[in-house]
Structure 1
Amino acid sequence: MTEFVLVAGAWLGSWAWDEVVPELRAAGHGVHALTLSGLAERQGLPAGQQTHVQDIVDEIERLDLRDVVLVGHSYSGIPVGQAAERIGDRLRRVVFVDSNVPADGESFVSAWPEGRSMVEGSIAANGGFWAPLTAADYAGHGLTDEQIDRITAGATPHPGATLTEPSVLRRPLGELPATYLKCVLDGPEPMEAVAELLKSEHWELAELGTGHWPMFSEPQELARILLRSAAAS
């Protein structure tokens, strides 16, 4: 039995996976959706990027999970990628869902130069937090009005330090068994850093014809891709 550990991106908590979890459990697997420190029901807890890495590692070790498929969406690809190498032989595969990927010594904002000033400006204007997106920002991502309302209602400000602190990698990310899922409405091609990693024999590319939040727009198809990725390991 595979153990899926699901980590949503910025502003979101474990609730973002509510429609994906039953699909994976119905296939006979363990599923653990995780809320990172400072978000959703864990608001108020101080958090930097390494806090989020440790959140993931601690949950896997606390539950003594083995045969882990570790899934990171959007921002959370950065802490998930670091956690994946730290859990050693507990890892079966890591799946990056339209996500950023960590680079040693680089932060979320340093790897996104065109968005850096916007993110840092929001953090400065909002007491150290990246303010959630507005409903208009979700247009063009294959979401219904009801789905957008659900996301915006549940989103919480994202701890700024998690976006500005650097990643720490102990070995090349390309050595990990990985699937990168590109959601093509968010751009047809993977970012340059991901394209380079996809040259590794350990990495594979999957595509989904929806936007950046597939756990809302296409939860059943996302679950099928996760199951296929686990089977490919």
Structure 2
Amino acid sequence: MVNFVLVPGAWLGAWAWDEVADLLDADGHGVYPVTLTGLAELHRPDSAQTPQAQHVADILDVARPLSDVVVVGHSYSGIPAGQAAAALGDRLRRLVFLDSNIPIGGQSFADGWSVEGRAWLAGQLAESGGFWPPLTAEDYAGQDLTADQIATIVERATPHPGRAITEPAVLPRPITELPTTYVKCLMDGPTPNGPVLQHLESPSWTLAELDTGHWPMISRPAELSQLLLSVS
């Protein structure tokens, strides 16, 4: 039996993994979807100041009592998930980055963005009291999602803590040493970004692909579940 710790990306909560969790559970595995502090049911008016280290701690609080752990980090959450996985030692079975950012020591989620992108983000945070506002329905177009799925995401998304995406990652060990699969969702771009490609040169890393958009736990839960089982 494998224990899957499933971490959703920006604006989302554990609810985003419901269908995947049901499928993995039906196959006899332990499934632990995580809601990060400040998001979904844990969202509070002062959540903007939630530090990235708290998100790492949220994942470790779930993962540390387990063995044979597969940590899955989607989108933003690849950053805290990678840091948590690096701290798990021999409890870690595999780290899966799901179309995600990866943690680079001393760099934040936004550090790899263009000057214009960082300025845009700073404006978003300033206008929203330190939060990163959720996407609009139009932003989900072309990502293999139905109208109903988009409506659900938009309705349930909550503002993301700005502090967590502007603080640098701290790695207890290089993630190139960890048994890792990077999953690229092809409708969100055909190839991983430069830092991911560099990390994929590690013999501990493999690349997998899904022909869907950036939210495969919602658009293709069955295919994603099978992929997670196959790499674990």
Post-superposition offset of 1:112: 2.3
The whole-number CA distance in structure 2 between the counterparts of 1:206 and 1:60 is 24
Q: How does 1:38-53 map to 2 (within 5 A)?
A: 38-44=38-44, 45=47, 46-53=49-56
Taking only the aligned residue pairs, the percentage that are identical comes to 58
Partner of 1:125: 127
Match of 2:70 in 1: 69
TM-score (norm 1): 0.96
2:182–2:206 Cα contact (<8 Å) kept: yes
Alignment partner, residue 32 of structure 1: 32
Q: Which runs of 5+ in 2 are unaligned?
A: none
Q: Which runs of 4+ in 1 moved over 3 A?
A: none
Per-residue CA distance 1:13-60 (angstroms, 9 max, x = gap): 000001101111111100000000000011125511111001111122
Alpha-carbon separation, structure 2, partners of 1:133 and 1:110: 20
- For residue 187 of structure 1, what is the aligned residue in structure 2? 189
Deviation at 1:115, TM superposition (A): 2.7
8 Å CA contact 2:37, 2:55 repeated in 1: yes
Unaligned runs of 5+ in 1: none
Listed one character per residue, the Cα deviations across residues 132-163 of structure 1 (whole Å, up to 9, x for unaligned) are 00000000101110110010011000000000
Q: Matched residues in 2 for 1:107 and 1:177: separation?
A: 23
Equivalent AA in structure 2 for residue 71 of structure 1: V
1:163-214 Cα offsets, whole Å, 9 max, x none, are 0000001222111100000000000000000001111110000000011000
Aligned to 1:22: 22
- d(CA) in 2 for partners of 1:99 and 1:112? 14
Contact preservation (8 Å) 2:95, 2:179: yes
State the distance in 1 between where 2:66 and 2:113 align: 33
Pairs within 5 Å for 1:1-233? 1-44=1-44, 45=47, 46-61=49-64, 64-113=65-114, 115-230=117-232
Aligned Cα root-mean-square deviation (Å): 1.0
Paired residues of 2:23 and 2:222 also in contact (CA < 8 A): yes
What one-letter code is carried by the residue in structure 2 that aligns with 1:73? H
**CA deviation after TM superposition for structure 1 residue 98, in Å:** 0.1
Compute the TM-score of the two structures, normalised by the length of structure 2.
0.96
Letter in 1 for 2:119: S
CA distance in 1, matches of 2:185, 2:117: 19
- 38-47 or 111-120, which deviates more: 111-120
Deviations 1:42-99 (A, max 9, x none): 11255111110011111223xx110000000000000000000111111000000000
Stretch of structure 1 that moved more, 40-49 or 149-158: 40-49
Which residue type is aligned with residue 113 of structure 2?
W
- One-letter amino acid of the counterpart of residue 21, structure 1: A
* CA distance, structure 1, for counterparts of residue 88 and residue 229 of structure 2: 21
Distance 1:119 1:227 in 2: 36
Paired amino acid for 2:183: L
Instruction: Write the letter of the residue equivalent to 2:89.
Output: G
